[in-house]
Structure formats: structure tokens, C-alpha cells
Amino acid sequence: MIGGLRVAVVLPAYNAEQTLARTVAELDREVADDVLLVDDASTDSTADLARQLELHVVRHPRNVGYGGNQKTCYRTALARGADIVVMLHPDYQYSPRLMPCLAAMIASGDYDVVLASRILGGGAVRGGMPRYKYIANRILTATENFLLGTKVSEFHTGYRAYSRQVLTSVRFAELSDNFVFDNQILTQVLAAGFRIGEISCPTRYEADSSSIGPGASLRYGLGVLATAVSYRLHRLGWRRYPYLIPLVPSEGAPTVQSSDGVSVRDQR
């Protein structure tokens, strides 16, 4: 726990057998009250290894996609009493040692969502990120910042933390089951008035790290742009998108809620 808040780490996994043990080994289990892995019908032994590592495992009988995997992650973490949920890709691209920092930024009451940025530290390319991915990341992020009215260094990280208040306020169940889920949920966060913070995170691209192909990357990029344009139209009042309307309308400052429903602290 941090500040009396229960911390859950969720690992959306697909064929992560080669990198899972290294990822879990660097998690601070004194901070993480719960570590759960959702296996999206992997063809390797990801689920079996996760059980050996004493993780809580949920296995999809069929592949539902990256976004669909995250939906199960968040539903399960909330049902198990999480107050702070840290989502980490189990492919060892991101440093698990930073998990307490992300959780602490939420627990402090200063942020509702925290993103671990591979860009802030300036070492993404040195860490092995392919240059074409880096360039695409920068172009997409700059475009999103313009359309969303934000100053975020990276929207495309697979390492982020959410407060329970966020996950129970936004309609994440209505989002895409594919990779664009990550961007869609951030537009929901912005539409609901929650605050986004960032922390610098080193990048590690290795041979057994996961990566999407060129075709999927193109579809993702187009989906990101469509999401940003939709948000802009919604904020201007030119078109309404129900998925951007919070489940719980904000009345003043949002608060961090503990799993028993007791308000822990005023975030503003």
C-alpha cells in the first residue's frame, strides 16, 4: 500500500513467456498488494509461468485484442479492491522498478493518471526504439497535443497508472478492443477533467520484446488521429460522442476513493 491505498499491478499479456519472469522480478511486491496477469489466449506457456510466479491469472479462452485484454485487467483489479491500478506491459520494454513512483504520484493526490514517458529522458532511440517508430511517435503526439489542447510528451506508452476514481468514472468498456484503446481512454480522462502527470522511463527494445507490424502500426496511427479529431469535435460541441461522457459527472474536485467507498483525500 501507499498512503493507505491498495495498489494493483495489471499485466496485459500475449505470448510473454520469454520476458515475464524478468518483468515480475523487478516489481516491488511490498508496494504492489496485487499483481494480476490477463493472458489473451497465448500460444506459449505465459499463463503457466504466471501461476508459478504466484500471480493472479485470468485467461481468455480466445484472443480478444489488446484493448479487450485491458478491459479485463481493470474490471478484475477493481473487483479485487484496487485503489490505484498500474498497467505495465510484461515485455520488459519499461522499467518495473518505477512502479512505486507511478503509484505514489496518484496517492499524493496531485494526479489522477500518470504516464511513464520514454521520450522525457531523451534516450528512446539509444534504448533501441526503431527510429521510424520514434519519428511516428513524435508526429502523432504533436498532433494529439494540438487537437486535445495538452502538453504531454508521449501518449503511446504501455506503462501508466490510474486512480480508482478514474476507472469507475470513464466508459472504458465502450472503447476499442484494439491498440487504439490506450489513446481513447486518455481522451475520456481529459473529457472528465482528470489530471495527467508524467514520469521519465528508460526504454529497452530487445529481440524478445513485443512489437506490432507495419500494417497494424498504420491502422493504429489512423485510429489515434480519428480519436483526437473526435475529442476535438466533442469539446467544441459540434458532435457528441457518448463514450466521452463520464459515468459519474464531475462536481468540483474528483476524489481518490478507497475500495470500501470512503473518500481518502481531496485531489484539488
For 48-86, how does the pLDDT look when each residue is reduced to its tens digit (9 = 90+)?
999 999 999 999 999 999 999 999 999 999 999 999 999
The answer to whether position 171 is within a domain reads yes
- Distance CA(94)–CA(127), nearest Å, equals 10
Range of the domain at 176: 7-245
The answer to whether position 256 is within a domain reads no
Pairing of strands 113-117, 159-163: antiparallel
The answer to whether position 182 is within a domain reads yes
Q: Angle, nearest 10°, between helix axes 66-79 and 181-191?
A: 50
- Distance CA(208)–CA(264), nearest Å, equals 41
List, for residues 135-164, the tens digit of each pLDDT value.
Answer: 888 999 999 999 999 999 999 999 999 999
The answer to whether position 168 is within a domain reads yes
Residue type, 52: Q
Cβ neighbours around 65 below 10 Å, total: 16
Torsion of CA 147, 153, 155, 159, to 10 degrees: -160
Q: Residue 143: give its domain's CATH number.
A: 3.90.550.10
- Write the Ramachandran bin of 194: left for phi over 0, alpha for psi from -120 to 50, otherwise beta: beta
User: What is the pLDDT, as a whole number, of residue 267?
Assistant: 28
The answer to whether position 55 is within a domain reads yes
The answer to whether position 263 is within a domain reads no
User: What is the pLDDT, as a whole number, of residue 203?
Assistant: 82
The answer to whether position 84 is within a domain reads yes
The answer to whether position 264 is within a domain reads no
Q: How much is the mean pLDDT over the chain?
A: 88
Structurally, how many domains does the chain consist of? Answer: 1
Q: What is the pTM of this model?
A: 0.88
Cβ neighbours around 239 below 10 Å, total: 10
List, for residues 191-214, the tens digit of each pLDDT value.
Answer: 999 999 999 998 887 665 555 666
